Structure 1
Amino acid sequence: MSPTPNTVRQTLPLGARLRTQRIAMGLSLADASKKCGVRQDYLGALERHDLSALPTIGYGLGYVRAYARALGLDTEQSVADFKRDSEVPFDLDRASMPHFVPKRRLRLPRGSIPALGVLAAVVMLSMWYGVQLDTVASSNPSVAVTFDPANIEAPTPVADNVLTVRTTAPSWISIRDSRGRLIVNRVFVTGETWQAETGQSFTLGVRDAGAVELWVGEANRGPLGAPGVPIRDMDLSIVR
């Protein structure tokens, strides 16, 4: 004779009651699965109250109703208990201990992980660009990049043997050394300059020739070309 619902203590969490009732009826999980039509692993998850092993809470409610009906338990009460237990999951091994504190699951708001990834990318890009404004990846001590927002009209006075590449509007600039190594490759803001001694073997590429000037010492040689016209591999060693 199968036990009645009164044989299961109502004070236990639902998962423990389901397991106790199944064992009292002499059923294995496989037997219970055939009886109620719910997968065996889902029934085990209900007994352990392992929400992560269920497709969704909505499916879980349907499984609870089918499982409770197959075991002869009150289906509506079982569903209500499942909802209650899902709010504050129980640690079934320690629920009777005097200092037991139910564990809450930490759930991030929907969309938090993609938003955090975008924020991290923005921070990394900002840090990279800030470093690039202050330094140049070159071992040549005669090469310098500067930016003086208070002196937009002309670069700081320099010696006659100093070549200055200066932007009058934002433009992408790339510079390679005599070995073809890329030492500058980024957008220069208005008024930013790159300098080296004249006669050195550097090649210059710009996206907007009209936004880039060449200076030798304090003499302005003018823009590299017409506005909006790109230039590739300009030999700076011939500029005197």
Structure 2
Amino acid sequence: MSIGNSPQDERPSEQDRDDREEAARPSIGRALQQARIAAGLTVDDVSSATRVRIAIVHAIEQDDFAPCGGDVYARGHIRTLARAVHLDPEPLLAQFADARGGRPAPTPAAPLFEAERIRPERRGPNWTAAMVAAIVAVIGFVGFTLVNGGDEDGTQAQVAEGSTPTAGQPASPTPKKDKPTDPKPDPSDSAIAAAPRDKVTVQVSAADGRSWISAKDHNGRLLFDGLLKQGQSQTFQDNEEINLVLGDAGAIQLYVNGKKIEDEFQPGAVERLTYTKGDPEVG
């Protein structure tokens, strides 16, 4: 009877089979690298698609998870990269958990973000907006100054134009001299001396009182019908003749074609007169 191992002892144990399978299985980084190459992607392509920094992608493909900043962020990177290269992330995550003893390492107080943040571009100060704001402020100040200073300027201008005010007395403007009114000339021959010869011109003046008068042209068109007060006068002109009705002929002085009519009319007498282009004659 020989002493040796039994056939059962010569069969490989289950632990040995797991060890051999694990040795034959590629690492997480190797699996991700092979899948990336098979998909025809470069590290730059994967970094652009996942927003994971190129240095971290290289480190993970070398099974170096330290740049991830902790197991929690490493698991997030593995899941993100696996999806980018068309791999199922769950087996890789399970492999990572087995390698880490089934529990993720504690995360540092200030971990790195899973994907590299795109920092906003630092912009310089907006000089255009600043200049516009400054111009608006200057315009507003100038307008405010003009509005508030308008009354003061007006007061100073008035004082400068007038006489210098004395203490306790308000400034008074220089009195304006009234223009002398031209005295109205009395009716005379010169008042209508320029009467045209081809027309008849009659001037009626209420020299000695008031009188009602009526004047018509040669067609009978009424030129005037009303009361002349003392000192008032009316002038009428026509191509052929002027017909007059005087209510109080004694108060009236007539000038016909530039000449004074010397007829002595009686006060209160009503006269009907007609004058033509010739010498003054009563019609």
TM-score in terms of structure 2 length: 0.26
TM-score in terms of structure 1 length: 0.31
Between structure 1 and structure 2, the one with the greater Rg is 2
